[in-house]
Structure 1
């Protein structure tokens, strides 16, 4: 059986399994509208400007796409689903999107655990999706039609260890991270990297996501006397509270932060204060950074201006990083559907993205994906930044320009 026949058979079997409740996929719909699901944490414990920004990015792109004629001649209609940052609610909302609303594509979520719970539903429907989760457990086998815009935990771990050891010359390193699935992958990868380099891991402490005081964890780490702390936080708020706790302890130690420290630097600074960023580096997508006196991320700045014109109030409080990530993702979806001849089924979209994503020019950077990895950005997309040194629209200064 050929690969195309095998894909066709899987699609047929999925439709038979869902025949009583699931209408035909958008690839075979007769109407001229394609439904796009937004599956995001808009309320609940993990609700933040991240999900709101993701929604803004998709909606801005869809407005532009519809004004230009739609995707393969079909206009796009948005259907919003709020996971409430709850895996059980997320499963119910995903069922609503694919079984009742019969969406053709899904954007979101931004929390790994929520997607992992809902994955069997979207897998069975063979609906493609692009979210922003970083857990390494979300493999191409686990979720064959899903792609992530997030820099994964493995990439961040290697970048941060390199910064701490090669640049900061640390001989002893400690870790502070949250308890999420992505953070656990990060810690495991850091341990492997440090062992390979012969660098001592003095301690690792976890905090509950959305905690506002990390003093106990930092006190425990301080007793281990590290040269450097690696901060892995899943939000700007968490990064801000972690640095505030560190500053209040008066502990003079350099911090290598993950991409949340870079991408959400304004939020971090608002909570911790500018002085708390004095000995901190972060990570960010290269497309959102600049060199002092040199190149500026023109395409990103142009997108920021468009977002402010489109939705001034939301743009004012949104993380423009996530606006850009999901704005780009919407145009990748368009390219995939039109590139495969107008098919909306998961196997067709997936095959096109795996083989052709690098041909799509986005605001964020060049896509790098394959049949083995559906993380859309690799290590070459990530740079070290000075989160305390920011320009227009909170772009960060790159280290080592």
Structure 2
């Protein structure tokens, strides 16, 4: 089991202590005929994200895409004659905000979806645990999901992306094993786990790690961070992070530092390449899912741009659209038996791996009995003419 922070361990212990309550909650609802968030006319999906604060613009895009798909679903008759309603809550991109959002949604929604952000998911999970609410997250730390009876992570957990990077470096970027490698990682729990998993996998792959450097998401400058890894002699830098990565690339350019960049994380969106001023051109990295290069992305844009003008958050809106498609496929598999117990039974079924949920943007999504995540596959990708483009087949090792 991966080493965890004290906060993660505390949440995991709380999840274990509440597992008996979860079972009673789920089974009691199934036998009583009453189920929160479901009646003869509707199914309510709880959705939380930072609708205020620094990530609000990204969330607005994701919610737009999610709601767009749900509207189309309802226009086509909904699910088993029921309309799907979306109950929203603002988590403010904080742990405490996630907890408050979950309390708001738990008594309203049949199941819940975390549309962006690890910190809110960490706060929300214990609240959903207490009430036995099925919880789908795009960014929950994997160790917490594995210890939970209600949580599932999709598409591929960031920690598993980080584990795949060393073999990608060894076999694709540095087959001669000559690179001096540094890893830069965002200073937060989920990125710390990414770093730790990367280091262990790098040791197994025989990579030469010359430096590790953490950075804060909202630092005034990243020049000192970049200078330290340059001074350590690194000529290949693995980036494990998100919105700060464009500023790191700009800091490197400012001091004339030009290593090979790679890595994994939320920064592998075209909008972050644009924010970097094109400095990601030619970078090869691993992604959890397709976006602008997905098979149905053009179809999505056609629908989206009937409702609003094209904008920089179109990709994020597509991520929301994909999440709604996943939930639709899950609900269809329930065959009209809308109980939380039925959801858990479906997602943890031994046969689920043989018949995964297919969404165009994601690797096939399935869960095992003890590993509650959507996929273990990473997508090798490269920025070509300003666009992240998949360059090979998805795999957990390369």
TM-score by length of 1: 0.82
Structure 1 runs (4+) deviating above 6 angstroms are: 5-8
Task: Provide, for residues 44-80 of structure 1, a one-character-per-residue CA deviation record: whole Å limited to 9, x for no partner.
Answer: 244442x223212220121111111112221122221
- Return the match for 2:381 from 385, 393, 401: 385
Match of 2:330 in 1: 336
Correspondence for 1:361: 358
The worse-fitting range, judged by mean Cα deviation, of 325-334 and 112-121 is 325-334
Shift, 1:371, TM fit: 2.3
Alignment counterpart, residue 327 of structure 1, candidates 321, 324, 327: 321
Paired residue for 1:37? 46
Work out whether residues 239 and 268 of structure 1, in 8 Å CA contact, stay in contact via their aligned partners in 2.
no
> How has the CA–CA distance of structure 1 residues 60 and 111 changed in structure 2, closer, same or farther, with 3 Å as cutoff?
same
SS at match of 2:382: strand
Distance 1:115 1:305 in 2: 31
Residue 278 of structure 1 and its aligned partner are, at CA, apart by 4.5
Q: Given the alignment, which residue of 350, 374, 377 partners 1:376?
A: 374
Distance 1:318 1:277 in 2: 18
User: Secondary structure in 2 aligned to 1:232?
Assistant: strand
Any conservation in 2 of the 1:40–1:108 contact (CA below 8 Å)? yes
Alpha-carbon contact 2:155-2:289 (below 8 Å) kept? no
| 1: CA distance, partners of 2:247 / 2:239 | 11
Matched pairs, number: 367
Structure 1 residues 266 and 11, CA gap change in structure 2 (3 angstroms): closer
Structure-2 separation of matches of 1:62 and 1:75: 9
Pairing 1:219-258 to 2, within 5 Å after superposition: 219-235=227-243, 238-258=244-264
Counterpart-to-counterpart distance in 2, 1:138 and 1:6:
18
**Aligned 1:173-192 pairs, distance under 5 A:** 173-192=181-200
Unaligned segments of structure 2, at least 5 residues: 1-19
Check conservation: 2:122, 2:140, Cα contact below 8 A.
Answer: no
1:60-209 paired onto structure 2 within 5 Å: 60-99=68-107, 102-142=108-148, 144-169=149-174, 170-209=178-217
CA RMSD for the aligned pairs?
3.0
Partner of 2:11: none
Deviation string for 1:197-234 (max 9, x for gaps)? Answer: 22221111111123352111111111111121001112
Residue 388 of structure 1 and its aligned partner are, at CA, apart by: 4.2
- The question of whether the paired residues in 1 share the 8 Å contact of 2:300 and 2:318 is answered with yes
Contact 2:159–2:190 (Cα < 8 Å) also in 1? no
Superimposed CA distance per residue, residues 313-332 of structure 1 (whole angstroms, 9 cap, x where no aligned partner): 4x523142x43343233233
Q: Distance in 2 between matches of 1:153 and 1:161?
A: 14
SS of aligned partner of 2:103 = helix
- The residue that corresponds to 1:19 in the other structure is none
Q: Measure the CA separation in 2 of the matches of 1:343 and 1:6.
A: 22
- The corresponding residue for 2:14 is none
After TM superposition, give the deviation of residue 182 of structure 1 in Å.
1.6
Partner of 1:351: 345
Range with bigger deviation, 327-336 or 184-193: 327-336
Distance 1:335 1:280, change over 3 A: closer
In 2, the alpha carbon distance for the partners of 1:341 and 1:39 equals 26
Asked if structure 2 preserves the Cα contact closer than 8 Å seen for 1:157 and 1:186, the reply is: yes
TM-score by length of structure 2 reads 0.82
Q: 1:279 to 1:223 in 2, by over 3 A?
A: farther
SS across alignment from 2:372? coil
* 1:285-324 equivalence runs, <5 A: 285=288, 287-288=290-291, 297-309=294-306, 311-313=307-309, 316-320=311-315, 322-324=316-318
Say whether the 8 Å CA contact 1:94–1:121 is kept in structure 2: yes
Ranges in structure 1 where 5+ consecutive residues have no aligned partner: 16-22, 291-296
